Amino acid sequence: MSKGNKLKNSQMLIAILPIVALIVLFIVFCTVVQMNEYRLDMYLKIVFNEAVVLAVVATGAIFIYTLGTFDISLGASTLFAATLGVTVYNKTESLVLMILVLFLAGIVCSLFNSILASIFNIPAFVTTVAMMSVLSAIASQIITTDGGALGGISIPSSVVEPYTGVGFKILLLGLYFGICYFIFQHTKTGRRMKYIGGNPLCAGLTGIKANKYTIIAFVMAGIGVGLGAFLTLTYTPSVTTQTASSIGMNIFIAIVFGGMPISGGPRSKIYAALVGGFSYMLLNDILEILIDSSAAYGITQVISAVFFLAVVYVTSMNYRSQMLPR
Amino acid sequence: MKNRFKKVLSLALAGVMSVSMLAGCGKGDSADGSASKSGKDSVKIGVLVADVSGEEAIGFRNYYEKYIQENYDVTFDYTDALESAEDEKSAIEKFASKGYDAIISLSSSDRAQQIETCEEYGVYYAIASGVLDEEQYETYKGYEHFVGQIGPSNETEFEAGKAMGEHFKSQGVSKVAIYGAFIPNPMHVYRAAGVIAGLGDTYGGTDDMNGMIGQIFGDQAIDLSKIEGDVEVVAYLQGYGDTTTDELNAAIQKAPDAFLSVGMATTFFAQTLSQNDIQFADIDSFTEMNLDSMTNGTLTYLAGKYSSSIGPVFALVMNAVNGNVIRDNDGNAVSLSQGYLVATDVDSFNQYYVTDNGDTPIYDKESLDSIIGDSVTFENIKTLVESK
């Protein structure tokens, strides 16, 4: 076998590993659930509800990560959007207006980040950390002021009742993923984003305006945030200061679990968030069922971290070849 | 290439083996059925918790797991620390998917959602810490699976704080520091407002409970500039984080006559306050750690619950699971308020601590047996709760 073919096979093997891992985790999960006498149909629904918000927000975030940058404020943006959405619903009792506000809030938060990053050239790490604090603080202020003794704000569960079904959520996820996939894989925009992420200098020299694509990437992530906020409310129609608090960091983990390099560029994969998000949640639930946290507090985090490092090690083998990506 | 493939394969195999090994030594019901609590007919109760490390939380857990579980055919399964409404709902669904009979809640991110989720899955539900506000109780009191709530009401929390403030005012303190624990946690907001009122001070120009708590929720903290009155509040801190030690030291520098806490002071500050010879007060539980602080003379006032105060809620749940869903005289879910017990010295502390410790809790098997059974009524429960 020629050296080129060997490399190709190796890259293909590593590329499909995240999907294989998802399948293996799914089988192990089903086995563990059955062995521990849980109802599989119910537990699958639980995992889906846990993973769908992460998968949606992370899929939007792929556009940002592809550019070689990142946004740690997406969890706070989701909280902020959900808070504004609930507030608007409680003032107007209009579901349409609430949904509009959810998306608008997500996009505006993201746009603000992108403007700071692309126009004022402030590193995304700095702007998004700052935005995370600001958005969380504003949301907390609204929640504690309006929520008072209840500790949170909410809309009547009957408002989102028609949208709580798994089928509807799969449809939304599929629709959003389909649009993202098309833009990422089949348009000039997607290709240029990968180019910018791989080599911003070359991209600039060929006339590609990085600022324009940064803004597009953040807008796509903003749409994901809006959709994520809506899906959060369909699961629990209430918002507390801790709502979506883990999403920011979980996006990072999900993308790595999905086999995408954090450095972005041409090896970025739009499906990484979907695969990684579900893999991560399956792993979490497997460990939660198997390990009594009271007996070994924090052990699930340690095992997750070991898995995380193992995945990074395996996927990084692909980047250490001496040939350019193809 | 070969080496790389081997590495990949070995990592994958190691992962699968790890999970398989864990599957073998998992926490599921033991295959040999040696532990009676894993028996087929054992009642299974899931407990929702937000705090897993506080003195009160540990005391409650020990009572259920070390006393109740030994004396009744019941299994308690605790969640990890639940941080959000989503976590709570997911935890209930997981309990329901394993056929749990009931949920007891010590977590309060979204109680309404908890009740609705339990109703959806047909699992009995009771609240053991804090209570629903009036509007929520009105909404859910008729739900089939909502068994009830027994614990300090918001007014009781306010009164507990107020009694603490009044105690120190009567001791002649002129300046104090206040620890607001985890404001805007509603329970802590009510207690802190009570402390200020008890000191004879006003907050934002009022000493009315609702007027004060509305402002504190808005401020998300105690704003010292809003406090007026004879007793000066020289320092205020809340939460626990990187800056807490500095804030505590700054408070100590102002030489307060007392450090008034609305929760968890022993866990966080007992040692420092003891070293600086500053007396403190807390609203917590009658636990060993608090006894140590009271014995060394630093903790001079404790409004506390005893660990077995969550016994009657267990009785309500057991009755419901066994087919006797107890309703109040109007046919609604049970709602009873429990007060706090106050200790100001080792003797009064021991009166509650010793009698509620180990094998002889205040709500022991004998007293619980009197409110568990097919013929038990609301009046039986009410009488017992009010007598303790």
Nearest partner of A157 among B334, B110, B384, judged by Cα: B110
The token pair at B334 is 């049970």
B251 shares a domain with B232: yes
pLDDT one digit per residue (tens) for chain B, 388 residues: 445 545 544 554 445 444 444 444 444 443 333 333 334 468 999 999 988 777 778 888 889 998 999 999 999 999 988 888 899 999 999 999 999 999 999 988 889 999 999 999 999 999 998 888 888 899 999 999 999 999 888 899 999 999 999 999 999 999 999 999 888 788 899 999 999 999 999 999 999 999 999 899 888 889 999 999 999 999 999 988 778 889 999 999 999 999 999 988 888 888 899 889 999 999 988 888 888 999 988 999 999 888 888 999 999 999 999 999 999 999 999 999 888 989 999 999 988 887 777 677 889 999 999 999 999 999 999 999 888 7
B300 shares a domain with B319: no
Mean pLDDT computed over A120-125: 79
Lowest mean pLDDT among A78-92, A228-242, B346-360: B346-360
For residue A14, is pLDDT > 80? no
Per the CB < 8 A criterion, the answer to whether A221 and A23 are in contact is no
Distance, first Cα to last Cα, chain B: 74
Q: Are strands B175-179 and B341-343 parallel, antiparallel or unpaired?
A: unpaired
Mean pLDDT computed over A201-213: 90
pLDDT of A1 reads 57
Minimal CA separation from B52 to chain A, in Å: 9
Per the CB < 8 A criterion, the answer to whether B256 and B250 are in contact is no
Percent of chain A past pLDDT 90, that is, above it, reads 53
Lowest mean pLDDT among A9-18, A189-198, A267-276: A9-18
pLDDT of A152 reads 79
Residues A154, B110: C-beta atoms closer than 8 Å: yes
Q: Provide the pLDDT confidence category of residue A121 given band limits of 50, 70 and 90.
A: confident
* Angle (CA) B218 B223 B229, round 5°: 120
Residues A303, B98: C-beta atoms closer than 8 Å: no
pLDDT of A297 reads 55
Burial group, residue A190, by CB count within 10 angstroms (0-12, 13-18, 19+): buried
Lowest mean pLDDT among A18-22, A305-309, B44-48: A305-309
The token pair at B172 is 């002649």
B88 in a structural domain = yes
B347 in a structural domain = no
Sign (positive/negative) of CA torsion B350, B352, B353, B356?
A: positive
For residues B349 and A314, which has the higher predicted lDDT (pLDDT)?
B349
Q: Is A64 helix (H, G, I), strand (E, B) or coil?
A: helix
For residue A26, is pLDDT > 70? yes
B202 in a structural domain = yes
Residues A243, B86: C-beta atoms closer than 8 Å: yes
B181 shares a domain with B160: yes
B1 in a structural domain = no
B29 in a structural domain = no
The token pair at B27 is 């926490």
pLDDT of B23 reads 43
pLDDT of B21 reads 44
Least CA distance to B212: which residue of chain A?
A148
pLDDT of B123 reads 96
Selected for mutation to probe chain B from A3, A86, A144 (highest B CB count within 10 Å) is: A144
Torsion of CA A15, A20, A22, A25, to 10 degrees: -140
User: Chain A window 102-141: which residues touch B at a Cβ cutoff of 8 Å?
Assistant: 140-141
B189 in a structural domain = yes
Interface pTM (ipTM) of the complex? 0.82
Point out the domain boundary residue: B305, B329, B351: B305
Q: The CATH number of the domain where B218 resides is what?
A: 3.40.50.2300
Based on the structure, what is the number of domains in chain B?
2
pLDDT of B286 reads 86
Q: CA B316, CA B150: separation in Å to the nearest integer?
A: 9
Q: Is residue A2 less than 8 Å (CB to CB) from chain B?
A: no
Residues of chain B contacting A150 with CB distance shorter than 8 Å: 133, 136, 186
Lowest mean pLDDT among A277-281, A294-298, B183-187: A294-298
Mean pLDDT computed over A241-267: 86
User: Chain B window 62-81: which residues touch A at a Cβ cutoff of 8 Å?
Assistant: 78, 80
Burial group, residue A122, by CB count within 10 angstroms (0-12, 13-18, 19+): middle
**One-letter identity of residue A165:** G
Least CA distance to B116: which residue of chain A?
A157
Mean pLDDT computed over A105-120: 88
pLDDT of A2 reads 65
Q: Provide the pLDDT confidence category of residue A127 given band limits of 50, 70 and 90.
A: confident
Q: CA A64, CA A195: separation in Å to the nearest integer?
A: 13
Mean pLDDT computed over A57-72: 92
For residue A324, is pLDDT > 80? no
Q: Which residues in A37-70 are b (16+ Cβ under 10 Å) and which e?
A: ebeeebbbebbbbbbbbbbbbbbbbbbbbbbbbb
Q: Is residue B221 less than 8 Å (CB to CB) from chain A?
A: no
Q: Is A102 helix (H, G, I), strand (E, B) or coil?
A: helix
pLDDT of B351 reads 83
Nearest to A245 among B83, B93, B217 (CB): B83
Nearest partner of B184 among A176, A137, A205, judged by Cα: A137
pLDDT of A146 reads 80
Which run of H or E residues covers position B57? helix B55-62
Per the CB < 8 A criterion, the answer to whether A81 and A60 are in contact is no
Task: State the residue range of the domain holding B185.
Answer: 155-305
For residues B57 and A292, which has the higher predicted lDDT (pLDDT)?
B57
Nearest partner of A283 among A243, A261, A245, A311, judged by Cα: A311
* Angle (CA) A155 A158 A161, round 5°: 110
The whole-chain average pLDDT of chain A stands at: 87
pLDDT of B27 reads 43
pLDDT of B28 reads 40
Burial group, residue B225, by CB count within 10 angstroms (0-12, 13-18, 19+): exposed
Minimal CA separation from B75 to chain A, in Å: 14
Look at domain A22-30+38-320 and name its CATH class. Answer: mainly alpha
pLDDT of A293 reads 58
Write the CB contacts of A109 (distance below 8 Å, at least 6 apart in sequence).
Answer: A73, A77, A80, A81, A131, A135, A222, A225
Q: Which residues pair with B285 in a beta bridge?
A: B305
Minimal CA separation from A290 to chain B, in Å: 4
pLDDT of A128 reads 87
B286 shares a domain with B177: yes
Q: CA B34, CA B133: separation in Å to the nearest integer?
A: 43
B275 shares a domain with B329: no
Q: CA B168, CA B260: separation in Å to the nearest integer?
A: 9
